[in-house]
Structure 1
Amino acid sequence: MADQPLTDWDSDLFDCCEDAQTCCYGFWCGPCLACTVSGRFGESLWLPLCDMCVDKMISPAALSLRVAMRHKYGIKGSLCKDIVATSCCPTCVWCQMYRELKHRKKSPVVINMEVQSPVNMQPHPMMAVPPQPVFNR
């Protein structure tokens, strides 16, 4: 990603009103949302359970996935900002990452092309001249 310019997150950390469905998912079932984000990003579905097993101020799974997502997609930020975000509101971080994955995983545009029939490039057969008899003298 070093060759491409860095971009911003598709949505801000506190943009829950932009996607109410994701916000509700994170509020009512935060662990389920975290597992969904982890799985969709290609990590173990159970990675967020580490956050529940650790007496912490910072959610290690949320922090590590946020940093990995920033690096994979070339998103602006720093480790310090990621630590602040995950310690202030880990649920908002999971929601933001979910929205980012939804944005990145949009269905690609499919273009249907009509297959054209092949063009015959061989010349038309020429009339063959019957062979002339050879006479020996």
Structure 2
Amino acid sequence: MYPSTGVSAQSTTEWSTGLCDCTKDWSTCCLTCWCPCISFGRMAEVIDKGTTSCVGGGTIYMILCWFAGFQCLYSCMYRSKLRQQYMLPEEPCTDCLVHVCCELCAFCQEYSELKYRGIDPSLGWQQNVAKQNQGVVMPPVGPGEMKR
């Protein structure tokens, strides 16, 4: 279940921002430039629908960055998942090449895409789902009524 976005995944097949539009959202740009592991962790949790925690995704990214230097191979998988979820084009080149050459710009673009679709990565998956379900009211069940 995706949080309500107001934008149908079927209706929009273009990215909401360009790869080099990092400065359109200064808060995302600054977070990504100074703490990419945090912005990546937040996105990973939302893209994986809560199966990956923000801390877990960010920690793996940070360890790969510090000790192996190929964190972009890990992060490009999440760009692919995001593209598949919203049927976005693989542009301007392959996901891995985007992350190898412009990883921080890719993070800004992906983070902004989630925000554009009504998902706030800073809230995490559970809070985004709760926010979506806030207006949903379940009918009351009286005592002795049949339950399934």
TM-score strictly above 0.5: yes
Instruction: State the aligned residue count.
Output: 106
8 Å CA contact 1:5, 1:74 repeated in 2: no
TM superposition shift of 1:6: 6.3
User: What is the Cα deviation at residue 75 of structure 1?
Assistant: 0.5
Counterpart contact for 1:63–1:83, Cα < 8 Å: yes
Structure with greater Cα Rg: 1
Summarize deviations over 1:8-33 as a string: whole Å, max 9, x none: 11111110121111101111111111
**Runs in 1 of length 4+ with deviation above 3 angstroms?**
none
CA distance in 1 between partners of 2:74 and 2:116 (Å): 21
- Equivalent residue letter for 1:55: G
Q: How does 1:5-20 map to 2 (within 5 A)?
A: 7-20=13-26
Instruction: Tell me what 1:47 maps to.
Output: 57
Native 8 Å contact 1:11 1:99 kept in 2: yes
Letter in 2 for 1:30: P
- Measure the CA separation in 1 of the matches of 2:72 and 2:57: 11
Displacement after TM superposition at 1:93 (Å)? 1.2
How far apart in 2 are the matches of 1:33 and 1:55?
Answer: 18
* Aligned 1:1-137 pairs, distance under 5 A: 4=10, 7-41=13-47, 42=49, 43-44=51-52, 45=54, 46-48=56-58, 49-50=60-61, 51-52=64-65, 53-56=67-70, 59-77=72-90, 81-105=94-118
Q: Distance in 2 between matches of 1:95 and 1:16?
A: 6
Q: Is the 8 A contact 1:13 1:93 kept in 2?
A: yes
Identity between Structure 1 and Structure 2 (%)? 26
Bigger helix fraction: 2
Q: What do you get for the CA RMSD once the two structures are aligned?
A: 2.7
Q: Which runs of no fewer than 5 residues in structure 2 stay unpaired?
A: 1-9, 120-130, 136-148
Q: TM-score, normalised by structure 1?
A: 0.65
In structure 2, distance between residues paired with 1:40 and 1:5: 21
- Distance across 2 between alignment mates of 1:47 and 1:60: 13
**Quick check: 1:26–1:33 contact (8 Å CA) kept in 2?**
yes
- Listed one character per residue, the Cα deviations across residues 61-102 of structure 1 (whole Å, up to 9, x for unaligned) are 211000011011010116x52122100021111111110110
Does structure 1 conserve the Cα–Cα contact (< 8 Å) formed by 2:20 and 2:105?
Answer: yes
